[in-house]
Amino acid sequence: MKLANKEVEAVNGVKIPQVGFGVYKLTKEEDFKTAVGEAIRIGYRHFDTAKIYGNEENLGAEIQKSMIPREEFFITSKVWNTDLGYEATKKAFEKTCKDLNIEYIDMYLIHFAAPGYIEAWRAMEELYLEGKIKVIGVANFEIQHLEKLMKHSKIAPMINQIETHPEFPQDELHDYLTKHKILHEAWAPLGQGNKDLFKNTVLNEIASNHKKTVAQVILRWHIQRGIIIIPKSSNPKRIQENIQLFDFELSSEEMERIGQLNTGKRYSHSPTGYMINPLYNKLMKIFIK
C-alpha cells in the first residue's frame, strides 16, 4: 500500500512532495538497491541526490527498474563546487541527466555558495527557461549569499536546502525564506540521528503522548513548519516510519516546546567560509567514500 504524502508548492506552482528520501552516503550498490527499492515500494517518489554523492547512476537504475512513469517521480540533484561557472555548470547538468538516465531534472540546486555560484545560477536560469529544470534553488546558502544571488539574478531561488533540526531550527533564516517566498528544505532533519537528541525528555514525552517515535515527532514538527524533509535510512522499518507523519498533529504548545530546544548547535560544519577552503573538495570526496 502506498503511504500518504503531502505536497508543497514552489513559487512557480510546481508541486514538491513534502517528504522525500535522501541518499547521501548510500554508496554501496546493494545497500542502495535495498533502501531505495523499499522506499519506492512504500510510496516515496521524491529522491534527493547530488553529483558528489556518487550514486546518481544507481538512483536512475532503480527508478527505471520500478517501471513507474518518470513523471510520478520528483528527482533532485546538485551541482558541486568544482563545477560552478556558466559552462561548467551546463556540462555538469548534462552529465547528471545522463547518469540518472532522464531528460529533465525536477529540482537542481547549487550545493554550496562557493566561488562561481553567480555564473552557475545564470546557466541554471537558462536551463530552467528551456524546461530542463522544473525548480531551481540552492543549498547551504545563508542570508548574505541569498542577498547577493538575488541582486545578480533574473529569477530568484525557489528553495534553500539547509541543515535544520530541533537543536538548530534556523529560525532567522526560516523567517527570511518565508518572507521572500523561498521554500525551506531540511537536510539532516533528524539531527543525523544524534543520540542525545533522541534521548531528549521533551521529545520522548511528546512521542509517548501520540504513541509515535521520537523521529516521527521531529519530522512532524518540520512538516507543521511547512518545511520539506529528506530523511534517510537503510532500515526498512524506519523508512516506513519516516513517511507515516500525516495521521497525527502536534499541538501549538508541543510545537512551542520543541522550538525551545534550540541550542544553536550544528551537527555539521558552517557553510560560511568552510566550503571555499582548497582542501574541502578533497576532504568531502574522502569523507563520502
> Hey, which residues are catalytic here?
53
Residue 29 neighbours by CB distance under 10 Å: 12
Residue 9, all three cell numbers: 508548492
Separation of alpha carbons 84 and 92, rounded Å: 9
Q: What Å distances lie between residue 155 and 133, 137, 150, 197, CA to CA? A: 13, 10, 8, 38
The 8-class DSSP code of residue 53 comes to G
The 8-class DSSP code of residue 164 comes to -
Separation of alpha carbons 89 and 52, rounded Å: 14
**Angle at the Cα of 109 (from 8 to 177), degrees rounded to 5?**
50
Separation of alpha carbons 271 and 266, rounded Å: 11
Residue 46 pairs in a beta bridge with 74
Query: Was 46 annotated as part of a binding site?
Result: no
Q: Binding site for substrate: residue ranges?
A: 111
Q: Binding site: residue ranges?
A: 111
